[in-house]
Structure 1
């Protein structure tokens, strides 16, 4: 069975999944991606992992209607065309095609599967909340494009509910748990960080002796970083020795650096190379994600794999499976300032070590090898059928 995954964009976290899929297929796994939409680091790792089975295309053409300033879902319509894509798909001659959702490069894969009577799986992440502003025409388009799908590969329960109730694919088989973080790589790197290493980093950053909270994500409105920073002073009024590390790039980076430049408990560090992030995961006591909209925020399972308690927004689709209040962390409403402040304070009354251990146990159900196995089993099932 030969599997082809068409995915124009992905991050480092997908490489271990692809590596495991390649092993499970006996070297019969292929990926088609975009040079413009992936980082050099990702492409290098992908080539080392899959060699010539990684097909990297360039020259994508885009047409955008709507606002590109906001990155909230459905704020713009982006139509993508990749010259030579269908020809590349056909050249692989796969038995099973995996597309990313209904749009982007997916139509080429769907067209090939239908035309050549191949099996079609669709990797899908959206939830009803993320798609709350989806126009009727877009939902109708998805219902039509999803008709030939043999199996949906999804992240969790909230995506399943959206596919069943929002798009009416209740009768199409689905497998949950297909989304994961690079838990092996990060957790192994964190385990090698010594107390001396942590102290050197603490001294470099001039951190206080209280708890250190870590945010990693895009510095954009959607991630809720403004809401978190706006109430941080209320938290430090009660816990003055706590620290907040903020890592990420985006249009809000410079304005927020200027706005909070005098607050010595807030450290806005900007972008950090993915291969260096483990140091900050090792250093922090609690990971926090105040996102206002996300399908399955990957930094949450990343932090959990590193043994960190998590504070997670209720607007993150992954909270349903990943976060249990008082067990491995707490859920909160970032649009409610009191909810943020109360949640931050709860960690001072919690057993952080026990929470971190529970986080590892829960995240262990969503590791790259298990995600790959679920995806492979679904592909094998539709192929045999």
Structure 2
């Protein structure tokens, strides 16, 4: 089949999924309504068509109390570009104006299929305006299938009247090979160094870093003999607020700034635990990357990746940023964990991440189109990639696990 992929931007970590998807088609065109994309995309056998679009900078105040900066795209050239395409299969990455033009293309043609990736969750969509909700309800009647990142996105679409049998799952993927070289965590500490925490992503309000850092600092004031270091990889307008947090002497915070994507695995390799304290994320790809690196995740269920991938006591520790006591509890359990327990959690995490490779996510997209045409899924020929993960209940259980067997909005 030939495929047209409609989006506004392709980040470096999405290139591997697009490359895997193109290999499953007889030809794939990328209609790009944004001005920039990852340069790595140019090396893939994908025809890129730049579509004229008006971009308007906006700020949205979320009901949870944070401000979110974004760009509103008015993709004026989308319908004309779609009409020039030879493909009768369109995959649109959003549930807004681009998809509205794609729905018109579908309506006035024969044998055309439109599948939408709705990159959203209940947390991110709280407080949306009436006009946007009305447009989404209308669009859901004129698409063949909708794919969401996880259960939260599916529940949100059902509130808009989308039938459950038209909703499929399409979580984010990261290039597992990028992180496979990273060794598992050692089961025994070689030195008396600090517990090394890592955050990878934008330094913006929605990521919850300042309230997380406040609670972590309070926990360490009660544990003056325990040392922790937190490394922040990324940049954003919250840098000054992070620097202003009053941290005790046994907590050091280092900001690395933005770095090339190929350097990111080096930081995962040096970490003991990866943190993701998001107030609301449609996914949170650092969770995939951490787990592919064999690192447990201390994460907020406000990030859909945590809600979908992190099992408390199995691949990390979960909490809710809207319930501070759950955060305190998760931090306490993380601080009390032994190297053997963290190593066992990391091995479980690595096994879980194997099912979220670019190739498997690409297969889900093709299967969605197969479903709309009454054809069998190609995934039936692909065996499962993982074994069941094992719960880590304490030091003795972790010791038994130590001999057992790991790819930023």
TM-score after normalising by structure 2: 0.80
Q: Note if contact 2:172-2:285 (Cα within 8 Å) is conserved in structure 1.
A: yes
Matched residue, 2:274: 287
170, 184, 199: which one pairs with 2:176?
184
> Please, which moves more after superposition, 209-218 or 344-353?
344-353
Q: Note if contact 1:208-1:241 (Cα within 8 Å) is conserved in structure 2.
A: no
> For residues 256 and 226 of structure 1, what CA distance do their matches in structure 2 show?
6
CA deviation after TM superposition for structure 1 residue 24, in Å: 1.1
Matched residue, 1:376: 366
Q: Could you say what secondary structure the match of 2:237 adopts?
A: coil
Q: Any residues of structure 2 matched to 1:188-267 within 5 Å, and which? A: 188-190=180-182, 209-237=193-221, 238=223, 240-259=226-245, 265-267=252-254
- When residues 282 and 3 of structure 1 are mapped into structure 2, their CA distance, relative to the original with a 3 A threshold, is same
Q: Note if contact 1:260-1:266 (Cα within 8 Å) is conserved in structure 2.
A: no
> For residues 148 and 199 of structure 2, what CA distance do their matches in structure 1 show?
26
Q: Note if contact 1:99-1:110 (Cα within 8 Å) is conserved in structure 2.
A: no
> Please, which moves more after superposition, 218-227 or 89-98?
89-98
Per-residue Cα deviation, 1:10-41 (whole angstroms, up to 9, x for no partner):
32222111111111113x12211245243xxx
- When residues 69 and 274 of structure 1 are mapped into structure 2, their CA distance, relative to the original with a 3 A threshold, is farther
> For residues 146 and 197 of structure 2, what CA distance do their matches in structure 1 show?
36
CA deviation after TM superposition for structure 1 residue 340, in Å: 2.8
> For residues 77 and 211 of structure 1, what CA distance do their matches in structure 2 show?
35
Unpaired segments ≥5 residues, structure 2: 376-409
Q: Note if contact 1:246-1:269 (Cα within 8 Å) is conserved in structure 2.
A: yes
Q: How many corresponding residue pairs?
A: 364
Q: Note if contact 1:208-1:243 (Cα within 8 Å) is conserved in structure 2.
A: no
> For residues 116 and 127 of structure 2, what CA distance do their matches in structure 1 show?
22
> For residues 235 and 261 of structure 1, what CA distance do their matches in structure 2 show?
11
Per-residue Cα deviation, 1:219-278 (whole angstroms, up to 9, x for no partner):
111100011121232233315321111122111113423556996611122222211111
- When residues 8 and 141 of structure 1 are mapped into structure 2, their CA distance, relative to the original with a 3 A threshold, is same
Unpaired segments ≥5 residues, structure 1: 200-206
CA deviation after TM superposition for structure 1 residue 308, in Å: 0.6
> For residues 46 and 85 of structure 1, what CA distance do their matches in structure 2 show?
21
Superposition RMSD in Å:
2.9
More helix by share: 1
> For residues 118 and 48 of structure 2, what CA distance do their matches in structure 1 show?
21
Matched residue, 2:381: none
Matched residue, 1:48: 43
CA deviation after TM superposition for structure 1 residue 153, in Å: 1.8
> For residues 67 and 22 of structure 1, what CA distance do their matches in structure 2 show?
35
> For residues 279 and 123 of structure 1, what CA distance do their matches in structure 2 show?
31
123, 146, 153: which one pairs with 1:159?
153
Matched residue, 1:126: 120
CA deviation after TM superposition for structure 1 residue 321, in Å: 2.1
- When residues 146 and 37 of structure 1 are mapped into structure 2, their CA distance, relative to the original with a 3 A threshold, is farther
> For residues 180 and 96 of structure 1, what CA distance do their matches in structure 2 show?
21
Q: Note if contact 1:13-1:182 (Cα within 8 Å) is conserved in structure 2.
A: yes
Q: Note if contact 1:74-1:133 (Cα within 8 Å) is conserved in structure 2.
A: no
Q: Note if contact 1:227-1:337 (Cα within 8 Å) is conserved in structure 2.
A: no
> For residues 55 and 254 of structure 1, what CA distance do their matches in structure 2 show?
39
Matched residue, 1:3: 3
- When residues 300 and 76 of structure 1 are mapped into structure 2, their CA distance, relative to the original with a 3 A threshold, is closer
CA deviation after TM superposition for structure 1 residue 336, in Å: 4.2
TM-score after normalising by structure 1: 0.85
Matched residue, 2:343: 353
Matched residue, 1:23: 23
